[in-house]
A and B are shown apart, each in its own frame.
Chain A
Amino acid sequence: MSNAELKRANRKTAIKLVLATTTMFFFGYALIPLYDVFCEVTGLNGKTGRLSSQEVSQMSPDESRLVDVEFVASVGADLPWEFYPLVAKISVVPGAETQVDFMVVNNAQYAVTGNAVPSVAPNEAAKYFSKTECFCFTKQSLKAGESRKMPVRFVVDPDIPRGVSLLTLGYTFFEALDTAGLHPTEHTYIN
């Protein structure tokens, strides 16, 4: 190989490898949506589905059995809210749409926006649990001292394995990242 040829060959190898490096950098970022898709398809990580009411109406409810659903609500650190379900536990017919209500109260003397993050346990059952309406689909803004009743409509898929008779739906409210830190750092509570 002549000197010029060698230089060209080295340059070509280097360019290819730089491209490979760049690709792998973006692959790191691509892992995030890939994991999300993976979790949604498999229902791992407690990721729940979302259905329209029409899709639910096409399900044939399995009247022969009942599944218990428990509700848990918690609030992330630094969010001056009270948050609780109005019923702790109900029995539902798989395939039939059900509505329950959660209550949230803003105890701060200023408006706060929050995000509710859902999770279903056990993991294996998460993919059989779908919501048609939920306060977790959008951010919730509460004025100082405001309280709000928030509905969740959900359906348990009739295909849910017979072994699962109890599901737990949990929500955690976090302060929305874009407003966090904008209000006074020392929270002053009304009560």
Chain B
Amino acid sequence: MSEAAAHDDHHDVQSTGLMRWLTTTNHKDIGTLYLLFSLTMFFIGGSMAMVIRLELFQPGLQFVDPQFYNSMTTMHALIMIFGAVMPAWTGFANWMIPMMIGAPDMALPRLNNWSFWILPFAFLMLLSTLFMPGGAPAGGWTMYPPLVLQTGDAFPYLIFAIHFMGASSIAGAINIIATVFNMRAPGMTLMKLPLFVWTWIITAFLLIASIPVLAGAVTMLLTDKFFGTAFFSAAGGGDPVMFQHIFWFFGHPEVYILILPAFGIVSAIIPTFARKPLFGYSSMVYATGAIAFLSFIVWAHHMFTVGMPLAGELFFMYTTVLIAVPTGVKIFNWVATMWRGSMTFETPMLFALAFVVLFTIGGFSGLMLGVTPVDFQYHDTYFVVAHFHYVLVTGAVFALMAGAYFWLPKWTGHMYNETLGKWHFWLSTISVNVLFFPQHFLGLAGMPRRIPDYAVQFSDFNMVSSIGGFVYGASQILFVVVVVKCVRGGEKATDEVWEGAQGLEWTLPSPPPFHSFTEAPDPSSITGGNR
């Protein structure tokens, strides 16, 4: 189908300039908006991380007061989770899912526009709290009462910002499920879906099941503070620990919301650059489903130290450690895919390989934390910080980078600068380990998290970690340079882009037409995720 036909036979009138972006219902435009928004938030949240590492460069209080430091850790987490990683995945989904399943667009285009455009308002509200009396929220992103109820004027803004972010991601999830369920091209059966689509479908169900529970929990905080309810106040017969249970009932599925699409992207990239079909496609699908199910019955491993009966601690320990089984299946499959493959090491593959190695390190420290008796030592130390940054930075963020390099030529029609991409990769990978690896040692030695000062014996590792942090932060500017250069020009990308690329998105021109498949693709071209 020609590009011209796609434009002609559609009813959309494209506005120009700002109105195009405000009113767009096109999945590619909205995908771009999501990705640019996410990149902006990545740098805002990242600059907060720089403030944290600057303060921790030396013991003692140097640059910021403790209240502001605590608001930096709180805001850094909220912005990175809800502003950077989650919208980035929705952006990838918007761009790629219709092209991967042979659909013209998303199922609910207007909802799609709306679900993006509430995000900037949510984050404007959240960021505005930095300038309010009492400062930005500083009680930690987990918002445990009673501490969070001491937040100043920022408190209702925090709650409503979270409501907005939740509404946005639920709307996105509804759209993605409707698209995949109703708009697959003929011949695109469920077990032929690319794994990115599979992992996103499961993520979408996790979102729908867990985000409303978070919305309920923060609404209870709001009514406790302003309307005299006592859900979490012992004075009125409530229980502050109850909040932790409800929060983590959301919180644990949330960590899989952040990582499952990463599994999907890595499962697309490794076969491409190993020039072999993905090993164990169906086991990948079932493993993802198993992880999603288990994520709902492990929440109390975040709160082993609140005083649980032995039976509870054992249950949550066993189920937690059980997650290593389906995750191990995935790691095994990726390694087996590479086994005797004809591998080349372009930037997306480098990021995907680093993902496999470094995410596994994060998985192992997670196993250590999952064992109840040792968790009593590690709880609330830098070991936890090291663990979740390995799974979220070298896990989720590295997969985002891998995906961005992988599909940038498809999106822009130009190849990115491979030399700069490799510089970005190596600088990031070395510095991120300098940044987070020493934090394991700090945590094991007893350095608590969320405190702006530390005992002097922790000085050296903190200084090393901070240097890694500054280099990692600065290296990300290279990524912006690569993206800008790639959008503005460069070597023309072919339709297939990568030699070993498989899947419907590579049958479209680079860049693809405004509407992806206005006619369903030839069913014989659908070879499926497992080829």
Contact = CB atoms under 8 A, between A and B. Distances in A.
Query: Which 8 A-B residue pairs are closest in the complex by CB-CB distance?
Result: A28-B216, A174-B235, A24-B212, A25-B212, A28-B213, A13-B178, A10-B107, A17-B174
A32 B108 contact: no
Interface residues of A, number: 36
B215 interface: yes
Nearest to B180: A13
Contacts of B231: 32
Given A18-B174, A35-B242, A178-B228, 15 more contacts: A13-B107, A14-B174, A17-B178, A25-B216, A26-B216, A27-B216, A28-B212, A28-B250, A32-B231, A44-B312, A45-B241, A174-B234, A174-B236, A177-B230, A177-B235
Interface of A: 1, 6, 9-10, 13-14, 17-18, 20-29, 31-32, 35, 42, 44-45, 76, 115, 117, 123-124, 172, 174-178, 180
Contacts of A45: 239, 241
A42 B108 CA distance: 47
B182 A6 contact: yes
Nearest to A172: B234
B246 interface: yes
Contacts of A23: 212
A161 B309 CA distance: 16
Nearest to A173: B235
A20 B173 CA distance: 12
A20 to B, nearest CB: 5
A175 B236 CA distance: 9
B137 to A, nearest CB: 21
A172 B238 CA distance: 13
B402 interface: no
Nearest to B246: A31
Nearest to B207: A21
19 contacts: A1-B182, A6-B183, A9-B182, A10-B178, A13-B174, A13-B178, A14-B108, A20-B209, A21-B208, A23-B212, A24-B208, A28-B246, A29-B216, A35-B245, A115-B237, A117-B235, A123-B309, A124-B309, A177-B233
Contact of A117 (B111, B237, B250): B237
A76 B235 contact: yes
B210 interface: yes
Contacts of A117: 234-235, 237
B181 interface: yes
A176 B178 CA distance: 49
Contacts of B210: 24
Q: Looking at B174, B181, B183, B237, which has the most chain A CB atoms within 10 Å of its CB?
A: B174
Contacts of A28: 212-217, 246, 249-250
B367 to A, nearest CB: 27
A49 to B, nearest CB: 16
Interface in B106-132: 107-108, 111
A14 B183 contact: no
Contact of A31 (B178, B241, B249): B249
Nearest to A117: B234
Contact of A10 (B108, B214, B237): B108
B307 interface: yes
Contacts of A22: 212
A27 B245 CA distance: 13
B134 to A, nearest CB: 18
Contacts of A115: 235-237
Interface string B282-294: 0000000000000
Nearest to A1: B182
A45 B241 CA distance: 10
A178 B227 CA distance: 10
B101 to A, nearest CB: 13
Contacts of B107: 6, 10, 13-14
B177 interface: yes
A61 B210 CA distance: 49
B164 to A, nearest CB: 15
B158 interface: no
Contacts of B307: 123
A178 B220 CA distance: 17
Interface string B235-263: 11101011001100110000000000000
A24 B307 CA distance: 27
A21 B213 CA distance: 9
B447 interface: no
Interface string B144-179: 000000000000000000000000001001100110
A68 to B, nearest CB: 22
- Of A10, A31, A172, A178, chain B has the most CB atoms within 10 Å of the CB of A10
| Of listed A17, A28, A123, residue having the most chain B CB within 10 A | A28
Contacts of A177: 228, 230, 233, 235-236
A45 B237 CA distance: 13
A169 B226 CA distance: 32
Nearest to B249: A31
